[in-house]
Amino acid sequence: MVCSDPKKGPQHIWVFQQNGSGERKINGVRTYGGDLFLLNTFSIDSHLPSIINDSSEYLPKEIEADLVLDFFKHPDLSTDLANACELKKIPVVASGKKNTGRWALNPPT
């Protein structure tokens, strides 16, 4: 678990979701995390093609986080997000996913 160090300030968590898929978890972090976490929510609510060859139009160009939570439903977005985070050494939790590459942690839901 990522814990906040009061000397360094709150942990910066970026949450990626599709069609509100992470709202319950986001509300839980806000309710129980208090000032330990700063959340940046990145939502995609539009229809997506079944195959995404270039996710650059859907993902932010820069990710500045201590931890990324992946609630994307589209596997191409999850894989590309994990790859981008690996390059920056940002841990990713992609709960319930079968395969997002070797960088993301995939705990069962």
Q: pLDDT averaged over consecutive 10-residue blocks of the chain (109 residues)? A: 63 95 93 93 94 94 96 92 95 76 65
Kindly state whether residue 108 falls inside one of the protein's structural domains.
no
β-partners of residue 18 are 44
Domain with 66, as residue range(s), is 11-93
- Asked whether residue 39 is domain-assigned, the answer is yes
Q: Which pLDDT value is given to residue 27?
A: 95
pLDDT of residue 1: 44
In the chain, the number of structural domains is 1
CATH code of residue 39: 3.40.50
Residue 102 maps to a domain: no
* pLDDT for 3: 53
pTM: 0.83
Cα atoms in the Cβ-side hemisphere of radius 13 Å centred on 95: 11
